Chain A
Amino acid sequence: MASTAVAHPDSELTQAQLAARYGLSVAGARPSLGRYVNQLWSYRHFITAYANAKLAASFSTARLGRLWQVLTPLTNAAVYYLIFGVILGTSREVENFIAYLCTGLFVFTFTQSVVSGGVTAISGNLGLIRALHFPRASLPIAITLTQFQHLLASIVVLAGIVLIDGEPLTLEWLLLIPAMLLQSVFNAGVAMAMARLGSKITDLKQLVPFVMRTWMYASGVLYSVQNFEKHLPEWAASLVQLNPLLVYIELMRHALMETAPVTASQTQSWLLGIGWAVLAGVLGFIYFWRGEKEYGRG
């Protein structure tokens, strides 16, 4: 032992000192927040390719292929119209109920799919994560992007439904674009937070459908939002107004429809929409980044 120590000066050092001396870095260390954003940006092509690939893969075995992207929202709208519009007769409360219903439904489905996809974004892709290096936030962001494309198809269907239902085509329809973008940022933030939570708490996947259903009832998707004021105590009704999904749904409804009943003023809705997007986007991203090192463990 002594002779080899003389033969080589490095053998006096501990492993950590040796690494420091030759400027080696810790494998799999978490990059700084700024570098992480940079990395993510340089992986933007991977993110879009992955999102498109997922979209193509989800229809690849169906004979009608990507036609289902349009058929799915259409069928959904038909089913809900049958139940709530025709059988239960909720339509009496709102003018152009089918347009009202479909707007809420499609906007809600966007967030719902992103949340349920986000929970398994890490745990369902462990093979990929343990094989390749890439900023892990690519996965929840790609899921948001895939669902965004579903939303675009839904919006095309929705535009048709709204016009057939007798709403006029106005310049206000352009407000759809910022509303969709705000909701996408909000969704991406939620997806990232859910991805980290889901990677640690695997049981979360089972719980999400219940949470989402509750959220759906609190978002005034299936019935008129006037019911909140009518049936809830005042504090609860004003709490419901803060619900981000209700905010995004109302922004969409206002853009598409002339007379849709809303709970809040336009200014309040836009401010809330921006606030929620920034809050969820920033916090979700930071929360996800803090766990970056751990995702390979499962």
Chain B
Amino acid sequence: MAEPIDPKTDLSATTTTVGGPRIPTVVVDDVHVVYRVYGAGAGGNGSPVAALKRMVTGTKSAAVREVHAVKGVSFTAYRGEAVGLIGSNGSGKSTLLRAIAGLLPASRGAVYTQGQPSLLGVNAALLNDLSGERNVALGCLAMGMTPPQVRQITPDIIKFSGINDRGDFSSLPMRTYSSGMAARLRFSIAAAKKHDVLLIDEALATGDARFRRRSEQRVRELRAEAGTVFLVSHSIDTIRTTCERSIWLESGVIRADGPTDEVVPEYEKYMNRT
């Protein structure tokens, strides 16, 4: 049986910093995240009259479901830490990252952060009908860069993504890209900016082996610049090599929080059991 490690005891007992005070950068205080999913039920009555009736009577449609993805999570992350988030599919890892980034509001509890954390995901929505180049510009502007900065950085991003390795793809619409190419471009855009607190959501799993090596190198650079890094990944090896601390999340609750060497074996035991 995987006995949950008491996060409080563990957190303070395993000080990883070498000298100097530990400065918290992310404080998560009993956070619950609930989000609504529309169209979950079987169709529902979509006639205009029924829609009006629902609005007037204020009844909830059966097609709307609430998902309680994170249930009361508390922890503190410190400057210089790389924290791995592990857990089975649907355990609330990505939702928790979004809550830390302030993109998904906590319905109870609060998240306190130093500066503005950035979510480095591969699912940043881009416009598929536009060329890769224009998407790069749009993505950079959306991250708050100025037009001169964007002009300066665009060639670097295109080059890093490697989409032009086989002909001039950057001027073609994104809908003509393979899924790997699109993912590489998205990652390259997101990785172009420096961050205080960096949240990485499965971003390392994109592209072919060569791009993966390059992106891992880039993440290491970003880590060196960033204060604190969170990494969501299903690849245990990635967690082992990049994170000294791991938080194991299961069904929206923390099962274990501590040094990676202790948490990961527990998690592997749990996953192999069934």
Instruction: Determine whether B105 belongs to the interface, using a CB cutoff of 8 Å to chain A.
Output: yes
CA distance A296 to B125 in the complex (A): 14
Interface size bucket, B side? Answer: 35 or more
Residues on B with C-beta less than 8 A from A230 are none
Give the interface segment out of B83-91, B108-116, B215-223: B108-116
A297→B35 contact, CB < 8 A: yes
In the bound complex, residues from chain A placing their C-beta under 8 Å from that of B114 are: 22-25
- Docked pose: A60 CA to B74 CA in angstroms: 48
B103→A133 contact, CB < 8 A: yes
Q: In the complex where A18-B27, A60-B173 touch, is A28 in contact with B48 (Cβ < 8 A)?
A: no
Which B residues contact A (CB, under 8 angstroms)? 8-9, 12-13, 15, 22-30, 34-38, 46, 48, 51-52, 54-55, 61, 74, 76, 98-105, 110-114, 116-119, 121, 123-125, 127, 129-130, 134, 137-139, 141-144, 146-147, 173
- If over half of A's interface residues share one DSSP class (helix, strand or loop), that class is named, otherwise mixed; here it is helix
Contacts of A133 in B (CB 8 A): 101-103, 116, 118, 143-144
Q: Which residues of B contact A201 (CB under 8 A)?
A: 55
What residue in chain A is nearest B6 (Cβ atoms)?
Answer: A1
Q: Mark A1-22, 1 if CB is under 8 A from B, else 0.
A: 1001101101100111011001
Please indicate the chain B residues that have their CB under 8 angstroms from the CB of A61 in the complex. Answer: 129
User: Contacting A4 at CB < 8 Å: which of B12, B34, B130, B143?
Assistant: B12
Closest to A127 in B: B125
Q: Is A15's CB under 8 angstroms from B138's CB?
A: no
Is the beta-carbon distance between B130 and A11 smaller than 8 angstroms?
no
Interface size class of A (residues with CB under 8 A): 35 or more
| In the complex with contacts A134-B144, A203-B55, A296-B113 CB distance below 8 A | no
Q: Chain B residues with Cβ under 8 A from A4's Cβ?
A: 9, 12-13
Residue of B37, B114, B116, B144 ringed by the most chain A CB atoms within 10 A: B144
Chain B residues lying within 8 Å of A28, measured Cβ to Cβ, are 99, 101-105, 111
- Tell which of A45, A60, A134 touches B146, judged by Cβ atoms closer than 8 Å: A45
Q: Are A210 and B48 in contact, CB atoms less than 8 angstroms apart?
A: yes
Is the C-beta of A131 less than 8 angstroms from some C-beta in chain B?
A: yes
Chain B residues within 8 Å of A60, by CB? 129-130, 173
Q: A15-B30, A24-B27, A26-B110 are in contact. List 20 more A-B contacts (CB 8 A).
A: A14-B29, A19-B112, A24-B24, A24-B112, A25-B112, A25-B114, A27-B99, A27-B100, A27-B112, A29-B102, A53-B138, A57-B129, A60-B129, A60-B130, A127-B125, A132-B143, A133-B102, A202-B38, A296-B98, A297-B104
Q: A4-B9, A15-B28, A206-B48 are in contact. Are A297 and B105 (CB under 8 A)?
A: yes
Give A125 to B104 CA distance when docked, in angstroms.
14
A-B contact pairs, 21 of them (CB 8 A): A11-B8, A15-B30, A15-B112, A22-B27, A24-B25, A26-B111, A26-B112, A27-B111, A27-B113, A28-B102, A42-B144, A130-B98, A130-B103, A131-B119, A131-B124, A132-B103, A133-B103, A133-B143, A296-B105, A297-B35, A297-B105
- Chain A residues 102 to 136 lying within 8 A of chain B, measured CB to CB, are 125, 127-134
CA–CA, A130 and B35, complex, Å: 12
CB distance from A279 to the nearest CB of B (A): 24
Contact A27 B102, beta carbon cutoff 8 Å: yes
Are B100 and A127 in contact (CB-based, < 8 A)?
no
